[in-house]
Amino acid sequence: MEGFELSIMINRPIEEVFGFLANLENDLEWRREWVDAKNTSGGSLGVGATFRLSSEFLGRQIPTVYEVIEYEPNRRAAWKAVSGPLPLTFQRTFERVEGGTRFTDMRRKCAASSSWLCHSSLERSSDNMKAIYAR
């Protein structure tokens, strides 16, 4: 399975958008599937930093630990799951455009049996992101 990609235009400066979206702790604000998110590497956001994000299923929290594998301020950040139920790698890219920032969220290497979950999660996240930046 190759993955999924979604791009949206955000009417905010690239520095603000990157600062918010490169920190996975902020995913709680726009990703419904997460119920908890913590930076487990002491504040650093660069390559090697880790985040523990937890979803909930049937009343149980299911943690996934992600490690930052790419980090280029105001351009891109990427993560891979190092523990948890889905072998997921994802990347977020940021492009300065007239009027704001083009944000692209790419999910790669979803297991074939869970590709529907990756795709539906990405679509819901886009709607939530639009609502946040419309404030």
Question: pLDDT-derived band of residue 7, with 50, 70 and 90 as boundaries?
Answer: very high
pLDDT at res. 135? 54
Kindly report the pTM of this predicted structure. Answer: 0.78
Q: How many domains does the chain have?
A: 1
Write the CB contacts of 113 (distance below 8 Å, at least 6 apart in sequence): none
Is residue 6's pLDDT more than 60? Answer: yes
Q: The CATH number of the domain where 15 resides is what?
A: 3.30.530.20
Write out the residue range of the structural domain in which residue 39 sits: 3-133
Two tokens at 77? 């950040």
Could you give the CA distance from residue 48 to residue 41 in angstroms, rounded to a whole number?
A: 8
pLDDT at res. 42? 86
Strand partners of residue 119: none
Task: State what percent of residues in the chain have pLDDT above 90.
Answer: 58
What pLDDT, in 10s, does the model give residues 51-109? 999 988 888 989 999 999 999 999 999 999 999 887 889 999 999 999 999 999 998 75
Say if strands 60-72 and 36-39 run parallel, antiparallel, or are unpaired.
unpaired
**Mean pLDDT over each residue of the chain, to the nearest integer:** 83
Is residue 28's pLDDT more than 70? Answer: yes
Could you give the CA distance from residue 127 to residue 30 in angstroms, rounded to a whole number?
A: 8
Position 87, amino acid: P
Question: pLDDT-derived band of residue 115, with 50, 70 and 90 as boundaries?
Answer: very low
Could you give the CA distance from residue 78 to residue 50 in angstroms, rounded to a whole number?
A: 11
